[in-house]
Structure 1
C-alpha cells in the first residue's frame, strides 16, 4: 500500500511545482509584455484572447487523441461561465498592467475572504471559527499591504476589485459545474476556451481601444531581443550608432595605414593592419542588419583616410598627387 502511494505523492509534488513555476512565469512574461518599461503591449483583453486560442487548440488535440473526454454541459451555462471567466482574466491582466506585481499578488490573496463571503451569501455555507480567524488575518494583511504600497492608483485599484470579484465568482461557478455535471477542470476548460477565445478576439480590440485610445493593429511588432526595425530604448540605438561609426572609421584608418606600410616596405605591419581592418569590417557587417542601419545615415563619415606616417615621408610633389587622388585641393 505504501509503495503504491509514493508515485501519487511524487506526481502531486511535480504538479504543484509545475503549477507554481508556470504561474510565476506567465505573470512575469505578461508584466514584461504589457508594462511601459517592457514592450508596452497595452492590449490586455486581446492578449487574453490569444491565450485562450492556444488553450482551445490544446483542448481540441487532447480530445482528439483521447487524453481527455468531452462531457455534456448546456450551452447557456457555458456562455455564462465564459462571460464570468473572460471578465476575471481580462480584469487580472489589466490589474497586472496598471499595478505593481506586489499589489497584483496581494489582490489575488483577497479572493480568499471574498469567496467565503460569496459562498455564504449564494450557497448559505458556514465556516468554523478557525477558518474565520484565518480569513481575518488575510484581510488585515491585505489591508496593510494596500496602504503601504505607494504604487496603487485609482484605475488599477478598480481593475483589481473587478478582477477579485469576477475571479471569486468564477471559482464558485467552477465548483458548481463540476459537481453538477461530474466534469473535470480541464474538460470544462476545453469546452469553454473556444467560446472565450472567439468572444475576446472579437470584442477585445474594442475594449482595449476604449481603455488605451488605440487599436491593437497600431502596435509596432518586433522580434523581442533581436529587433530589426529599431531598438526599444533610444539610448541603446545611440550607443549602437556610435559603435558602428567607430568600426567604419577603424576599418578605413587601418586600410590607409596598411597602404602606407606597403608603400614603405613594412610587410609585417601591413599584415597586422589588414587583420585589424577585416575584423572591424566583419563586426560592422554583423551589426548593420540587427540595427537596420542604412547607408545614407552615415554619408557624413570620412571616406578617404591618409596615413600620417606616409605624409611625413612624402615630398611636396607626392603630397600634391595624393591630394588630387582623393579630390582635395592643394594650396
Structure 2
C-alpha cells in the first residue's frame, strides 16, 4: 500500500514489508486412522495371547531353559555352522566351474546344481540317511579292481554327518548361483586389467573379482544363513535331536505341545535376530567405497531422532501443531 507522499512526481514509492508466510503442515488423517486400527488389533492380540489359558506361559518359560532344549539349540547352531561352511566352499567351487571355459567342468557344475536344486532337501536327507542300503560298505582301491580297505557306511557316516551332507550339499547348489551372480556383476575390464599386470586367473579371482563381488554376494548369503538355521528343523524327520525335535519330544511327553513349540520358536527368533544384525554390519562394511551413503546403524538412528526432537522442542517446550 502506498501513501499520498509516495505519489510525488520524481520520488519512488515506498512499500511496506510483506507479512511473513506462515507454513501450515499438511494433515494426514489417514495415518492416524491406520495407527489407531493397528493399535486396537495389537492390543486385542496381546490380550488374547496373555489371557489364553491354553498357552501356559509358565510352562513356556520352563521349556525355554530345559536341558534337552539347550542341548538341541547347541546342536542346531553347530549343524548350521557346518552346513554353511560346506555350502559356501562347495558353492564357490561350483560357481568357478560353471564360469569355466572347459565344457566338462561347466557341464558337471550345471548338472549338480540342476539335481540338488530340483529335488526337495527333505528327500535328500532321507537319501543320505538310507544310503547304507545302497552301498553297505565304502572302500578304497583300484577302480573296477580289488578293494584295499573298506568301512561300514553307517559307521563312517554317523547321523550328524548325514545331516551336514544333506543340508550342506543342497546349500552349495544355491550358493553357487549367488556367487556366480556376484562374479558376473564385476566389470570385465577389471579382469582384463589384472591380466595385463601379469596376474593369474586364480589371483585375479581372489584379489580383485571376489572382493568387489562381495557387495552382491553378502545380502543373499545372509538370507541363506538365516534360512539354514530354520531349515535344520527338517533333520528332526530322520530322528536327529536338534532344537525342534527336543521341543516335540517334550510336548509329546508332557502334552504341552503348543507351549513347547512357542519356547522353541523364541530360540529361533533370538538367533535369527542376531544373524540379521550381523548381516547388517557386514553389508555396511562391504558397502564402503560406493556412491551411496552408508546406512545408519540403529544407534545412529536413535541419536538422530533424539537430536531432532530436542531441536524441535528446546528446553522441553511444545512445538507447533502438526
TM-score by length of 1: 0.26
TM-score by length of 2: 0.27
Higher helix proportion (structure 1 or 2): 1
